[in-house]
Amino acid sequence: MKLPKTAKIHEVGPRDGLQNEKAPVSTTDKIALVNALAQAGLTSIEYGSFVSPKWVPQMADSDEVGRLITRLPGISYQALVMNMKGYERAKATGMDSVNIVTGVSETFNRKNMNAGVDESLENYRPIIAQARQDGIQITAYVSTAFGCPYEGEILFANVLEVSRKFLTMGADEVILSDTIGCAHPKQVSELLAMHLEHIPVDKLGVHFHDTRGLALANVLAALQLGVNRFDGSVGGMGGCPFAPGAQGNVCTEDLVFMLEEMGVETGVNVPALIEVSRTVEGLLGRALPGHIKSAKHKPSYLERK
């Protein structure tokens, strides 16, 4: 099996993971979480979302989190924004990369952003232009790329159209997002293969949810096509307030374990991540769905090193 030699893991737990939690998590605990993830070797971390607290109250303190985290060299600290006001707030906290998102589904997009697909793309144009001027990387998420909770099946051609528009507007990379965890490996392979006919592999990434238990299988399908940029959420926490039925993101420590076992280097410390996951379980007062933290044997890749 031919696989990439390395993989880049983007940690979304402090944002995508926490945003759907009903019980408030303190600003101090969020800051500690981001810092612990950085200490575990993750070099790309999404620390907050600069949207209206009316819609996502868990992210109301993203300004403070962004200002007070301990910034380590070589780490990209990232934030999600949906308008210019949010961009300016995020920039003031010192973000390195801005994350923007548009759904392929018109219905989802109107519920998530109160705008149609084309309208939301146009709304991002000045943000992308400003970010390029500011020297801030732009990561564009194409949500509902594999299916929509309201419209069902999504045409691959429509996904590719949104991806290409983002790149033409100036985004540095596009991330195909399985917002509700409905994707399967054959679908992932086909959609990525279509994209790779038009988009370089180093500008593509994937974001999987594990609603149906297929997230790691979908990661493998992407790996086999050379895609090596993956989102993960520590412990497997997560969900989307605007996508009924969406469960947690692929668990970061399970993802890293699988990649390292197959010889794909990530630079991430699995035992350290497991400790972070256990700490988060204490904060939330419940078990998280990740698997590797319960395994009793030592990972073989650690024995090889």
Which CATH number belongs to the domain containing residue 195 in this structure? 3.20.20.70
Tell me the torsion sign for CA atoms 289, 232, 142, 129: positive
Q: Is residue 1 part of a domain?
A: no
Active site members: 240
CA-based Rg of the chain, rounded to a whole angstrom? 18
Residue 51 tokens read as 């949207």
Q: Is residue 111 part of a domain?
A: yes
- The residue range of the domain holding 57 is 8-304
Q: What is the DSSP letter of 277?
A: H
Given this model, what pLDDT does residue 270 score?
95
Beta-carbon contacts of residue 146 (< 8 Å; ≥ 6 apart): 154, 176, 177, 178, 179, 182, 183, 187, 188, 191
N residues, the chain: 305
Given this model, what pLDDT does residue 304 score?
60
Q: Is residue 2 part of a domain?
A: no
- Structural domain tally of the chain? 1
Given this model, what pLDDT does residue 1 score?
85
pLDDT (tens digit, 0 to 9) for every residue of the chain, 305 residues total?
A: 899 999 999 999 999 999 988 889 999 999 999 999 999 999 999 999 999 888 889 999 999 999 999 999 999 999 999 999 999 999 999 999 999 999 999 999 898 888 999 999 999 999 999 999 999 999 999 999 999 989 999 999 999 999 999 999 999 999 999 999 999 999 999 999 999 999 999 999 999 999 999 999 999 999 999 999 999 999 999 765 545 555 689 999 999 999 999 999 999 999 999 999 999 999 999 899 999 988 876 667 666 65
Given this model, what pLDDT does residue 122 score?
96
Given this model, what pLDDT does residue 18 score?
94
Given this model, what pLDDT does residue 114 score?
86
Given this model, what pLDDT does residue 140 score?
98
